[in-house]
């Protein structure tokens, strides 16, 4: 996998994980994957394989700081 693809995976997972923390929701791997596939894009379901290595590095573990993301959130018509 090239660095650009890996960076996209890690940044998307980080953002989804951080959004769960901001919302006070449990951050299990299943919940993070659900956040990615339902609020970002369902084609990213295989990306959960990056979570174990993210959890080994404190800098890649979100803290719930900041505002919830909305740039990657799927848009629903008429909402």
pTM, full prediction: 0.78
Tokens of 60: 């890649």
pLDDT tens digits, residue range 17-33? 999 999 999 999 999 98
- pLDDT above 70: residue 60: yes
Per-residue pLDDT band for 73 (boundaries 50, 70, 90) equals low
- Give me the phi and psi of 54, to 5 degrees please: -65, -40
């Amino acid at each position: 996998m090239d660095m650009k693809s890996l960076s996209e995976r890690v940044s998307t997972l980080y953002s989804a994980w951080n959004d769960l923390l901001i919302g006070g929701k449990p951050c299990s791997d299943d919940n993070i994957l659900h956040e990615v596939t339902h609020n970002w894009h369902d084609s990213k379901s295989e990306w959960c394989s990056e979570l174990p290595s993210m959890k080994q590095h404190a800098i890649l573990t979100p803290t719930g700081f900041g505002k919830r993301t909305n740039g990657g959130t799927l848009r629903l018509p008429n909402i």
